[in-house]
Amino acid sequence: MRLQNKIAIITGAGSGIGRGIALSFVKEGAMVVVADWSEEGAQETVKLITEEGGEAVFVKTDVSKKADIRQMVRTCLDRFGRVDILVNNAGVYKSGSLHEISEEDWDAVLDINLKSVFLGSATVIPEMLKLGKGKIISIASIAGLVGFDKGGPYCASKGGIIALTREMALEYAPQKINVNCIAPGVIRTAMTKDMLADPTTQQFLTSSAPYPRVGVPEDIAMAAVYLAADESDFVNGEVLVVDGGWVAK
């Protein structure tokens, strides 16, 4: 198993990509902390893990709050004794023309998508420094690489994740802490459910990538497994694009 006995914290693991990553990590031998502000979804993820014989613990977490992040990490240390892997996955999307987006919506997206990466990483890095090794993986988006109409705060937050990933990789590589991010294309999750329910929109999205389908959480999960495993120890500061070829056009 590629993650045998590794300890991982995964934010936003109550659904979608986060749940897919949690389930894939456990299949590869990891034990996970399922961090989410939705208790119902997170407990379902824990149930799915335990039914497969895995080990997981839920922590109710608002990733934009420093106190919650500290409690998340403390729970991991109390239960498992260390943190080997952090996956900064939690995210939200709010759309609208830039001149119409409220300051509150802008702040919410930047806090949950980008500030959370700072808070989570800054809190686990001291623990990884004690271990002499660690893996930090953040979920960015192709929206951080190319523009998406009426997606101003989301694009800004995901572009910020990419820039912060590169800075952290440069800063902590000498201490053997690998920092990378994944840039998914359009993935079938609760966040995209309404958008993909429209046949015209789904046809547009499917035809926009050379690979003829919309992505699924497992596509991102397997990329995360690679970046979390020892085999990627020489990969640092990278943006792993998983989008069916969208940005290659």
Residue 70 identity: R
Q: Residue 157 in contact with residue 248, Cβ under 8 Å?
A: no
Query: Do the Cβ atoms of 208 and 246 come closer than 8 Å?
Result: yes
> For residue 65, what are its two tokens?
């709050």
Label residue 210 exposed, middle or buried (CB < 10 Å: 0-12, 13-18, 19+).
exposed
Q: Is 226 a catalytic residue?
A: no
Identify residue 29 by its one-letter amino acid code. Answer: G
Tokens 């999750």 map to which residue? Answer: 189
Q: Which amino acid is at 136?
A: I
- How far is the C-alpha of 94 from the C-alpha of 135, rounded, in Å? 29
Check: CB of residue 179 under 8 Å from CB of residue 88.
no
Distance separating alpha carbons of residues 63 and 81, to the nearest angstrom = 21
Q: Look at residue 1 and give its three-state secondary structure.
A: coil
Point out the catalytic residue in the list 93, 154, 172, 226. Answer: 154
Taking a C-beta distance cutoff of 8 angstroms, is the pair 232, 197 a contact?
Answer: no
148 Cβ neighbours under 8 A, 6+ residues apart: 154, 155
Query: So which residues are the catalytic ones?
Result: 154
